[in-house]
Amino acid sequence: MTPTPRAQVSPPETDGLFPIRTVASMTGVHPVTLRAWERRHGLIRPQRTPKGHRLYSTGDIDRIRQVLGLLEQGISIGQVGQLLDAPDPATLEDNPPARGPSAAWPDYHSRLTAAALQFDSHTLERVYADAMSVFPVQQVISQLLWPTHTVLGDQAGDSTLSAAAQAFFRGWARYTLGCRFRHELSHAQGPALVLAPFPEQGDTLEMDMLALLTATQGVRVLWLAGPITLDTLEATMNHVPARGLTLVGENRLSRELLTRGLPTWSGKIGSPVFAAGPSAHHHRRALTGAGLIPLERDPWQATRQLEKHLLTPQAD
């Protein structure tokens, strides 16, 4: 899905032109990616100040959003410019660009997985930086980091070394996404969302992904580190003006929690309570019966569900 602009941003501008940091906040596209779209692919052509700083017009911003939409459809970065610059869009109907999963993702995924299995942090950084120079962070997480994490998790039971590789990747990814999350959170001006692990569980990479993706949509994420109790969560929700609460977990939940703890507790929370991660996937029906709203397994799809609840008038 195309990243949603942050409605609350009131950017400084000069004669209708916007600096790159403001454009990044408005579109959800990292400055590194914006520069690569200009230098490597010629997709946008911002103006320059006398000191060389980029300034983007409203037309440039509209074009960036068009690029995002085409990438989301699976159109390769090399074909995006051709499609946008076609003098008559109707001429492309006879020879439409190929659609489907970008050909770049399998290669990125293979390289990232191999680097994790070899405990090679330098290659992890290079592959991640390469992907981020072409695609927005929403797609990098959904199409690269999350699938790699899932594959490594599936292999973790094969041997202690595989389990170590998963732990190595998780540590690298959590640090990397955490740095980006802090940056995004500093610009978020939308409604607040409390994010916490399920009781008796700790923080997970799924939490990092969901926190970052939600922050890119302008949501002010209030992160409660685990382990945490239901009473603590209730006290938090009674104290802070949050629009909702999301519980994330990677392990199966106890029968006691599903049948007694959560149903009683959720009735005391005056805001929507969402469930995410493998825990939500395993117990979807039981969590729904307990009054929670299970989210999609894919972190970006889960973010879009949260966005629908938190950023629309119906959520009030």
What pLDDT does residue 6 have?
47
Contact (CB, 8 A) for 42 and 8: no
Rounded distance between C-alpha atoms, residue 170 and residue 229, angstroms: 24
Rounded distance between C-alpha atoms, residue 27 and residue 4, angstroms: 7
To the nearest whole percent, how much of the chain has pLDDT over 90? 56
Spatial strand order of the sheet with 242-248 comes to: 220-223, 192-197, 242-248, 273-276, 293-294
**Please, which pLDDT band fits residue 8 given cuts at 50, 70 and 90?**
very low
To the nearest whole percent, how much of the chain has pLDDT over 70? 88
Asked whether residue 246 carries a pLDDT value surpassing 80, the answer given is: yes
What are the tens digits of pLDDT across the range 70-82?
Answer: 887 778 777 888 8
Q: How many CB atoms lie within 10 A of CB 171?
A: 12
What pLDDT does residue 92 have?
47
Domains in the chain and their CATH numbers? 18-86 (1.10.1660.10), 104-179 (1.10.1240), 187-315 (3.40.50.280)
**Please, which pLDDT band fits residue 36 given cuts at 50, 70 and 90?**
confident
The neighbouring-strand residues paired with 222 are 194
The rounded mean pLDDT for the chain is 86
Name the packing angle between helices 20-27 and 58-72 (round to 10°).
Answer: 40
Separate counts of helices (H) and strands (E) for the chain: 16, 8
Q: How many CB atoms lie within 10 A of CB 136?
A: 24
Is there a cis peptide before residue 227, judged by omega within 30 degrees of 0? yes
Rounded distance between C-alpha atoms, residue 94 and residue 97, angstroms: 10
